[in-house]
Structure 1
Amino acid sequence: MKVGLYFGSFNPIHVGHLVIANHMAEYSDLDQVWFVVTPHNPFKKKNSLLDDYQRLEMVYRATKDYTKLKPSDIEFKLPQPNYTINTLAYLQDKYANFEFALIMGEDNLKSFHKWKNYDVILENHHVYVYPRISGNHIETQFDNHTKIHHIDAPVMELSSTFIRKAIKAGKNVKPMLPEFVWEYLDEMNFYK
């Protein structure tokens, strides 16, 4: 099985995340996409970041009707601060029959060479890249790399930051969130 790992704080998960993940699961050779919820860094004070398990709960609620999309708390169990290379090594060890790939936005590819052991990641894993809003292709040193796959996913100009600010300002964000996520946020009074 080939699994794409989509890392993020998902604070909150929104329809843009789902559209990209579902597109990757349906229009690439990935069998599943796992939403890897990144844990709160204990050294960073971030009042706007919900608890790890609250964010995981939102991802669970958002993906429960999609057979190819799964929530993952795998990084909650790893020592902090954590690096992607460690997560990949852990997963490869735990799920020896699976092939893991990374999913990232085109803007992240620009700084990918700064990631810890990025060369080892590319030796052992494929990277699926989705476009960002700029519309212009971003030149990187990885443009012709055989392990980097540009997937023509829909471009979504929607961010969790925008949604949090809108909720705080009393705006209706219901269309931007999966229904079960909106209900959970509303019930819990998050971001108000």
Structure 2
Amino acid sequence: MRVGLYFGSYNPVHIGHMAIANFFVEYVDFDQLWFVVSPHNPHKSKENLLNDYDRLEMMHIAVGNDHRFRVSDIEFRLPRPSYTIDTLTYLSEKYPDHHFSIIMGSDNLKNFHKWKNYESILEYYGIIVYPRPGFSQELAADFPSIKIVQAPQMEISSTFIREAIRSGKNISHFLPHGVWEYIDKMGFYKD
């Protein structure tokens, strides 16, 4: 089985994440896409990060019953900080019949050389990159084994969502059905 792994903090998950995921399962040769909810990216600030359970719950709400997607909490059960190579190694051992590829936005290429054992990731796993606004092809030139796909570009971010909620904006159409209601009910991102 060919599985695309879409890592993220999903703080919160928004329609941009879901649109990219939908693109990958329909236009790239994947049997399934797994949203890997990360406890804390070692290369990002932990400020404003909701707890693991609530981000995982929002991801489950967003995916619903769509069989093309799976939500994974694997990184919650691995040693922290969580590194992609450790997650990939664990998944490859647990699912030897699966071929895993990483899906990532082009903004991650800028610091990819800082990832733990990035050379092993390049050698043993597929990396498929979708362009983000302002993407320069020069970044990809350093990593010839990375595949760039021309997915639709989405100028929406979880930071934008959090700031809009903090400002009292109704951004319900920027979130998957049910996620806005969960955020509102729980009072997330308001202070």
TM-score bracket for the superposition, by shorter chain length: over 0.9
Which amino acid is the alignment partner of residue 154 of structure 1? P
Distance 2:31 2:158 in 1: 26
User: CA shift at 1:65, angstroms?
Assistant: 3.5
Distance 1:45 1:103, change over 3 A: closer
Which amino acid is the alignment partner of residue 107 of structure 2? D
Query: Is 2:141 the partner of 1:151?
Result: no
Q: What 5-or-longer segments of structure 1 have no aligned partner? A: none
Q: Percent identity?
A: 57
TM-score normalised over the length of structure 2: 0.92
The residue number in structure 1 matching 2:131 is 131
CA contact (8 A) 1:9 1:55 kept: yes
Q: How does 1:39-188 map to 2 (within 5 A)?
A: 39-40=39-40, 46-134=46-134, 136-140=135-139, 142=141, 145=144, 147-188=145-186
CA contact (8 A) 1:107 1:138 kept: no
Which amino acid is the alignment partner of residue 54 of structure 2? Q
What is the CA deviation profile of residues 64-116 of structure 1, one whole-angstrom value per residue up to 9, with x for unaligned ones? 14221111100000001121110000000111110110011112123212211
User: CA shift at 1:138, angstroms?
Assistant: 3.2
Distance 1:131 1:45 in 2: 23
TM-score normalised over the length of structure 1: 0.92
Q: What 5-or-longer segments of structure 2 have no aligned partner? A: none
Which amino acid is the alignment partner of residue 71 of structure 1? V
Question: Tell me, what secondary structure is at the counterpart of 1:139?
Answer: helix
Distance 2:89 2:143 in 1: 25
Which amino acid is the alignment partner of residue 88 of structure 2? L
Provide the alpha-carbon RMSD of the alignment. 1.9
User: CA shift at 1:140, angstroms?
Assistant: 2.6
Which amino acid is the alignment partner of residue 139 of structure 1? E
User: CA shift at 1:3, angstroms?
Assistant: 0.7
CA contact (8 A) 2:40 2:82 kept: no
Distance 2:46 2:109 in 1: 25
User: CA shift at 1:47, angstroms?
Assistant: 4.9
CA contact (8 A) 2:2 2:32 kept: yes
Question: Tell me, what secondary structure is at the counterpart of 1:21?
Answer: helix
Question: Tell me, what secondary structure is at the counterpart of 1:111?
Answer: helix
What is the CA deviation profile of residues 15-52 of structure 1, one whole-angstrom value per residue up to 9, with x for unaligned ones? 0000011101110011111111111479x984521110
Which amino acid is the alignment partner of residue 20 of structure 2? I
Distance 1:7 1:144, change over 3 A: closer
Distance 1:158 1:49 in 2: 18
The residue number in structure 2 matching 1:31 is 31
